[in-house]
Amino acid sequence: MNDDSSIVRLAAMIREETERLRPGDRLPSSRELMRLHGVSPVTVSRALARLAAEGRVITRPGSGTFVAPAVARTGGTADLSWQTVALGDRVVDDTDVIGLLTPPPDGVIPLTGGYLNPAMRPSKALSGAASRALHRPDAWSLPPLTGIPELRGWFAQEAGGDITPSDVLVVSGGQSALTHAFRALSAPGTPILVETPTYPGALAAARAAGLRATAVPMDRGGVRPELLAEAFAVTGARVFFCQPTLHNPTGATLSAERRGQVLAIARAAGAFVVEDDYARYFAAAPAPASMISMDAHGTVVHINSLTKVLAPSMRVAGITARGPAARRLRASQIVEAFFVARPLQETALEFVGSPAWPRHLAGLGVELTARRDTLAAALTARMPAAEIHLLPRGGLHLWVRLPPDRDEDTVVEAARRAGVLVSPGRIYYPAEPPGPRIRVTHSAALHLPELVEGVRRLATALEGP
């Protein structure tokens, strides 16, 4: 009998013995096992090591070998509570974000979400672009770590102004860009200013980076510059996160004048502006120039993502910055992810350089306008007690204030039971919300009749029992 088979055989016999004993019972000593089974010290040692790895025995040097507790022996749920102490009190909370990413159950109408429904995505054209990209000889080779030059050039052109390809870093989607920006520009424990309300994914990323999100109020024109200046002065923050075009969730768009004021205030505070330009392709009318195109001092870090306008798995974005901030962002990308997969970058470049891109944008603009108008009309007709914050010049959502006597969570839960999903307003605030709100999305429903039916169900939920 060779050594390996002796180990297996001895381990099997000891395993059977542990089943007959109680947790904590002492097993025969190594010397006794050698005598009983006629094996070498090495065989005994390795057999016991195998059983210890299985969680069946515990070896205590100088005391002997004992039957392990039942949970460890049977493979039941282990007590992992020790990790709470080891991990500390920092929490990475995905609750608010995961609700926006979870597909609705069958029969439930989604009036929430951040992506185009399948019928609105250019799936066929994307597949064609992917096929062409994968036929390139270098499709699977290592890309430049900051992104393939042509794609960086395209993002630079979209940003406008004097931005060059060397200012752009290609990353894995807008959420990744936010995470990189927050970690690169702020130290854990420091404040970050955000519009209020604001995108829940930004709040989650800020908290995961150990930052304290501080609210700056808005009106229908966007963030209020005088309150932004006050917030910088009071908090000492060095970063302001904003969505100046078709803000999520309110739909507000900053005028060119206010954009200039925000830049001047941030520069005076020695602070960065993280410009999330997520909705630049959802505007029904031309939006003012991007803030980074107006910036001559390296104040703005600009994010432009292709995910929302194309498909959830097109996780490609450009993050633009200059100076030491750009160098730190590049280092963050390399340390965390090395680079974005070249086939995905090549596919994105193929698509935006093809006739399918302007065709998609033109058709999308018409469809989103029709959906916005249909949603607004249905809400006005079915829910007169609720108030639409404003009718945005494009975008994917409407921000709705509920009657003050309504409980937001109750309405959202009643809507779910009625077969329609909406986003609760509380998840868009870094602190206590000012009153009951919901965000209602028109891009996730399959078609206009489903959109109208979703509002009917929502109205039923608002009426309550």
pLDDT tens digits, 205-225: 999 999 999 999 999 999 999
Looking at residue 262, what is its pLDDT? 97
Topology of domain 95-118+357-463 in CATH is Aspartate Aminotransferase, domain 1 (3.90.1150)
Residue-averaged pLDDT of the chain: 91
Looking at residue 1, what is its pLDDT? 41
More confident residue, 6 or 462: 462
- Asked if residue 3 has pLDDT above 90, the reply is no
On the question of a common fold for 3-74 and 135-354, the answer reads no
- Asked if residue 402 has pLDDT above 90, the reply is yes
**Every domain of the chain and the residues it spans:** 3-74, 95-118+357-463, 135-354
pLDDT tens digits, 36-57: 888 888 888 888 888 888 888 8
- Asked if residue 127 has pLDDT above 90, the reply is yes
H, E, C per residue of the chain: CCHHHHHHHHHHHHHHHHHHCCCCCECCCHHHHHHHHCCCHHHHHHHHHHHHHCCCEEEECCCEEEECCHHHHHCCCCCCCHHHHHHCCCCCCCHHHHHHHCCCCCCCEECCCCCCCHHHCCHHHHHHHHHHHHCCCCCCCCCCCCCCHHHHHHHHHHHCCCCCHHHEEEECHHHHHHHHHHHHHCCCCCEEEEEECCCHHHHHHHHHCCCEEEEEEEECCEECHHHHHHHHHHHCCCEEEECCCCCCCCCCCCCHHHHHHHHHHHHHCCCEEEEECCCCCCECCCCCCCCHHHCCCCCEEEEEECHHHHCCCCCCEEEECCCHHHHHHHHHHHHHHCCCCHHHHHHHHHHHCCCHHHHHHHHHHHHHHHHHHHHHHHHHHHCCCCEECCCCCECCEEEEECCCCCCHHHHHHHHHHHCEECEEHHHHCCCCCCCCEEEEECCCCCCHHHHHHHHHHHHHHHHCC
Topology of domain 135-354 in CATH is Aspartate Aminotransferase; domain 2 (3.40.640)
- Confidence tier at 71 by pLDDT (50, 70, 90): low
pLDDT tens digits, 286-301: 878 999 999 999 999 9
3-74 placed in CATH 1.10.10.10: yes
The residue-averaged pLDDT of 305-331 equals: 95
- Confidence tier at 359 by pLDDT (50, 70, 90): very high
- Asked if residue 2 has pLDDT above 60, the reply is no
- Confidence tier at 35 by pLDDT (50, 70, 90): confident
Asked whether the whole model's pTM tops 0.85, one would answer no
